[in-house]
Amino acid sequence: MLSSTTVRTLTDCLIAADADAEQMGWGQPPTLLLVHDWLLTTWPKRRHAMRSLEFPLHPDDLLADPAGLPALLHRLAAGLINPGGPTPYQATLDTIISRIRATKPDARLVAWAACYDDIHTNGGQPRQARRVDALDADGRVYQLTHLRGEDHPLVLVDDAPDPNDLPATYPGLVALLAATAHHTETRTAGSTPRPQRSRLRTEPEEPIFGVCGPDGASIRCRICGAVDEIDSDEMPSMAGYGEDTYTKCTRCGSVETTNPIFGWRAKPAIWPPTPEPDQP
């Protein structure tokens, strides 16, 4: 479930994509956007950072099919599910898959979006418009419409979209989201099971530490429940850029780290700890 903050950040990301397209000018080929976020755990604040990966489409890909962009989205989704087959979009598919795999396991799939030029009928008069359609991981639909000559776009975010008022790209975005999720799974059938974890932390990829108390002034370990019992540090990264961060619960020993190369990592402790065997 995406938080309200994530929804607002994604909306801002789509507005930024429209602004970038505005600088490029009208008449550009459609662009797909794959949106991820990942957790930044720099003490004392914790927040998610979001990024979008852009994949401009070649105009010939659309002209070759009378159905245009919606049909192309389905083709790309099919290619993601069955990579390696004969397709004119193989270079785009290879790039998408490599970018997806490069973000594991620190990033979370948030949404797919399509930015494209369209014709909008307003008051009976057709006007050129740019649209950014998006579908997030919760099934929420985003529709941005920027009429040519207007300073600001109109943005609609629909938690319960009307089946009769969906953009033409919606089925293709659904297919892309499902196909991409297949490549972002962090567990495989032969992987080593993770250690048993406390019920305080309900999902494997959730952060170990969360804010609590009045105004979120305290930090609570979600493994053992300890409040403000942590050691933390931040220093210039040995990678030569950015920073490394380290946060450890002094009660149970669970650790969160970040660095510019590997991103966010969590090492939760087993809680309650395994009892020591009785000594004879």
Task: Examine residue 192 and state whether it is found in any structural domain, yes or no.
Answer: no
Together in a domain, 47 and 138:
yes
For residue 127, what pLDDT band results from cuts at 50, 70 and 90? Answer: confident
pLDDT at 201 over 50: no
- Residue positions counted in the chain: 280
Among 183, 218, 237, which residue terminates a domain? 183
What value does the mean pLDDT take over residues 136-153?
90
pLDDT band, residue 85 (cuts 50/70/90): low
Residues 142 and 213 in one domain: no
Rounded Cα distance, 8 and 198, in Å: 31
Flag whether 157 is in a domain: yes
Plot region of 260 (φ>0 → left; ψ -120 to 50 → alpha; else → beta)? alpha
- Asked whether the predicted pLDDT for residue 70 surpasses 70, the reply is yes
Same domain, 147 and 259: no
Highest mean pLDDT among 90-94, 111-115, 191-195, 241-245: 111-115
Domain total of the chain: 2
Structural domain contains residue 204? no
pLDDT of residue 65: 54
Q: What residues contact 190, with CB distance under 8 A and at least 6 apart?
A: none
Asked whether residue 277 carries a pLDDT value surpassing 60, the answer given is: no
Per-residue model confidence (pLDDT) at position 199: 34
| Structure-token pair, residue 165 | 């008022």
pLDDT digits (tens, 9 = 90+) for 16-33: 999 988 888 888 888 889
Exposed/middle/buried for residue 125 (C-beta within 10 Å: 0-12, 13-18, 19+): exposed
What domain range includes position 93? 4-183
Residue 186: what pLDDT? 40
In this prediction, residue 14 carries a pLDDT of 92
For residues 230 and 251, is the Cβ–Cβ distance under 8 A? no
> Which has more confidence, 241 or 125?
125
Considering the domain architecture, whether residues 11 and 134 belong to the same structural domain is answered as yes
- Structure-block tokens of residue 24: 């490029």
Residue 199: inside a domain: no
Distance, CA of 162 to CA of 155 (rounded, Å): 16
Give the list of residues 6+ apart from residue 187 with CB closer than 8 angstroms, or none: 204
CA distances from 145 to 25, 126, 207 (A): 15, 14, 36
Q: Report whether pLDDT(207) > 60.
A: yes
Q: Which amino acid is at 238?
A: M
196 part of a folded domain = no
